[in-house]
Amino acid sequence: MILLFSPRSDLAIEAAALFNKTENDIKSIEGIEYKTEKNDNYTVTRVEVLNKKGEQAIGKQIGTYVTVECPKIRENDDEAFEAVSTVLAGELEKMLNLKKYHTVLAVGLGNWNVTPDALGPKVVSKLVVTRHLFEYIPEKIPDTLQALCAVSPGVLGITGIETGEIVKGICDKVKPDVVIAIDALASRKIDRISTSIQLSDTGITPGSGIGNKRRGLNEDYLGVKVIAIGVPTVVDAATVANDTIEILCENIKKSENLDKDIGKALEITDNEFRYPLIKEVLNPFVGDLIVTPKEVDEIIDDVSKIIANGINRAVHKDTENLYNA
């Protein structure tokens, strides 16, 4: 049996059942709540998967998925940076729901040697880490700070250890009240690269992301609530090839004098033929080719500042002194 190609996405708003549908269509899906808020700088989309029916409908676990989209991030717009940091901090604060003396463990997933996968470690390097101060100089800590600690565990190919195991081991020692896991994602759409940020309270399930993370970073395994923050930084080259075929087929189908047989041929193309075609184009790399903007290094830098800023503000109350962190 040949595995048919299925475009890879880690975003709830790109789930098959939601993709390319109108908002009204989506609202009629049972077990799903879907809300959108827009302003000049960004769009916030809230997808709530309420029950098993919802899970089956869109293939995402029960939980809340909030996506902030802001195309202006790519234009280096300072006002947009600030606006997105603020909305991100607000949404994250709600999900974290911290009490005094709670401890937060931030985990930067991904491979620091692979530019578009280095988002997590970059964010972690910009956090205002404070947990050790509570232990060593508690009397000097302002009331506005919470105990935040942070690690970048690496990926399986670098450590020889499943990321889940490393994080579980650290959790068992640190006993955080909540974990924030930051990861680079794959998207189905090129225009989401670096401009969408997804928060969810479901943690990370095995196989997502572009690294190797088999054991889930989720409450089931770690025994503590996990908030996942993800940003699409690449699109699979296979997705680009697939989208090209799709658009081409649609264009051909629209041509007036289309013979029924060809129409049928194109239907077939939608299924059996597609994967071998894509494989032929991307040979010999197929699984490991990624599409990124040329300036991906700079993009990852910018978006990691926004996310670090959002986390710093959400965790520590007094934001004034943390803006430059």
In this complex, which beta carbon is closest to a copy of itself, that of residue 59 or of residue 263? 263
**Residues in CB range of 207: below 8 A, 6 or more apart:** 213, 214
Instruction: Tell me how far apart the alpha carbons of residues 187 and 8 are, in angstroms, rounded to a whole number.
Output: 7
- Under rule CB under 8 A, which residues in 153-172 are in contact with a copy of itself? 153-154, 156-162, 165-166, 168-172
- The label of the residue with tokens 């503590």 reads 224
Under rule CB under 8 A, residue 43 binds a copy of itself: no
Instruction: Tell me how far apart the alpha carbons of residues 200 and 181 are, in angstroms, rounded to a whole number.
Output: 10
**Judged by CB under 8 A, which of 30, 142, 273, 318 binds a copy of itself?**
273
**Residues in CB range of 69: below 8 A, 6 or more apart:** 42, 43, 44, 45, 192, 195, 196
Q: How far is the CB of 310 from a copy of itself (least distance, A)?
A: 17
Stretch that binds a copy of itself, among 29-37, 52-60, 94-102, 293-301 (CB under 8 A): 293-301
Under rule CB under 8 A, residue 140 binds a copy of itself: no
Instruction: Tell me how far apart the alpha carbons of residues 139 and 304 are, in angstroms, rounded to a whole number.
Output: 32
| Cα atoms in the 13 Å half-sphere on the side-chain side of 87 | 24
- Under rule CB under 8 A, which residues in 175-204 are in contact with a copy of itself? 190-191, 193
Neighbours of 205 (CB within 10 A): 17
Instruction: Tell me how far apart the alpha carbons of residues 94 and 107 are, in angstroms, rounded to a whole number.
Output: 19
Under rule CB under 8 A, residue 39 binds a copy of itself: no
Under rule CB under 8 A, residue 304 binds a copy of itself: no
Under rule CB under 8 A, residue 237 binds a copy of itself: yes
Stretch that binds a copy of itself, among 25-33, 60-68, 150-158, 224-232 (CB under 8 A): 150-158
CA distances from 311 to 3, 93, 179, 217 (A): 40, 8, 12, 18
In this complex, which beta carbon is closest to a copy of itself, that of residue 38 or of residue 253? 253
Under rule CB under 8 A, residue 207 binds a copy of itself: no
The amino acid at 14: E
Instruction: Tell me how far apart the alpha carbons of residues 244 and 279 are, in angstroms, rounded to a whole number.
Output: 14
Stretch that binds a copy of itself, among 27-35, 91-99, 177-185, 289-297 (CB under 8 A): 289-297
**Judged by CB under 8 A, which of 9, 67, 115, 208 binds a copy of itself?**
115
**Judged by CB under 8 A, which of 20, 28, 39, 255 binds a copy of itself?**
255
Stretch that binds a copy of itself, among 124-132, 198-206, 222-230, 309-317 (CB under 8 A): 124-132
Q: How far is the CB of 225 from a copy of itself (least distance, A)?
A: 19
- Under rule CB under 8 A, which residues in 65-84 are in contact with a copy of itself? 71, 78
In this complex, which beta carbon is closest to a copy of itself, that of residue 22 or of residue 251? 251
Instruction: Tell me how far apart the alpha carbons of residues 259 and 281 are, in angstroms, rounded to a whole number.
Output: 28
